[in-house]
Amino acid sequence: MQALIQRVSHASVHVAGALVGSIARGYLLLLCAEHGDSEREAERLLARVLKLRVFPDANGKMQHSLQDMDGQGTPGGLLVVSQFTLAADLSSGNRPSFTSAAPPELARALFDHFVQCARKQHPVVQTGVFAAHMQVSLLNDGPVTIPLRVRALPDPH
């Protein structure tokens, strides 16, 4: 499972002209499920996202996480948008292949699980609409853009 995290001053998602999700300062997270991913990968990825320290302290050093972005306990917003195109493979030419992306049913289930877990662990979570054509607006802060991937682990049983 992979994500592209962008630290934003604000971000929003519109579907068919209607606002479906928006946040102030925080992360816009583009999320892609791949073949072999399970709820374990979604949970591991979420843990990494919530602990990622890319908000500046008083000295401008990236020191604070989304859950404490100002060092005073203030949580940032998390806007999660499904993005199967993160699985793009251009090794065979200029037209991307998306064969490593999870099938839509599994991808939707993992997206929903990620969001459900995020809402249990973080107070400000918004989303786009899975599989919809979306217009995503953001003001990247920094800019800070971090790719993050967790691989499927062998089954311990």
| Catalytic residue flag (residue 63) | no
Respond yes or no: is residue 99 known to be catalytic: no
Q: What is the pLDDT along the chain (157 residues), one digit of tens a residue?
A: 999 999 999 999 999 999 999 999 999 999 999 999 999 999 999 999 999 999 999 999 999 999 999 889 999 999 999 999 999 999 999 999 999 999 999 999 999 999 999 999 999 999 999 999 999 999 999 999 999 999 877 766 6
- The residue from 2, 55, 67, 84 that is catalytic is 84
Beta strands in the chain (DSSP E): 2-15, 18-23, 26-32, 53-56, 62-65, 77-82, 125-127, 134-149
Active-site entry in 74, 85, 116, 135: 85
CATH architecture classification, 2-149: 3-Layer(bba) Sandwich (3.50)
Residue boundaries of the structural domains of the chain: 2-149
**Known catalytic residue: 84?**
yes
Annotated catalytic residue: which of 83, 126, 127, 130?
83
First to last CA, the chain: 21
Residue carrying structure tokens 């251009």: 90
Bridging pattern class, strands 125-127 and 77-82:
parallel
